[in-house]
Amino acid sequence: MAITFTWSIKDMHRKAETGAVYRVDWSCSGVDADTSTSRSRSGSYLHTNDDGDPATPDHTADDFIAYASLDEATVLGWVKDNGVQAYNEGLITSNINNIITAEAANSSGLPW
């Protein structure tokens, strides 16, 4: 069994004045290659300060990336950081495995 994961960005929320992105809505889907069983999860990434509290990015910081210069790979990097990728792909894998196991334990049809 091999599960292929696809991550995507659904929306980004930013401050109009500075272009600072403070929230990203994402989706992750997984599909088992052998059975085509699939599951997905979605959520939101919130930019946080050093204390872990939600905060708007500092548009004057040296590492600030202007909204117009962002690409999907960079934003997905934010989303997947800090264990979010491993956690969500693990849940999707577990859900797919549970479905495949349940389907294998049951059958239907006629005896003739």
3-state secondary structure 81-104: CCCHHHHHHHHHHHHHHHHHHHHH
| pTM, entire model | 0.85
| pLDDT exceeds cutoff 90 at 51 | no
Distance CA 36, CA 3 (A): 9
Q: What is the pLDDT of residues 64-98, one digit of tens each?
A: 998 999 999 999 999 998 889 999 999 999 999 99
Domain count, the chain: 1
DSSP strand E in the chain: where? 3-14, 21-32, 38-46
* Euclidean distance between CA atoms 71 and 5, whole angstroms: 19
Q: Is residue 33 part of a domain?
A: yes
Q: How high is the pLDDT of residue 1?
A: 67
Residues in the chain, total: 112
Determine the structural domain holding residue 85 and report its residue range. 3-99
7 lies in a domain? yes
- Residue 110 inside a domain? The answer is no
Within-domain flag for 104? no
pLDDT of residue 108: 78
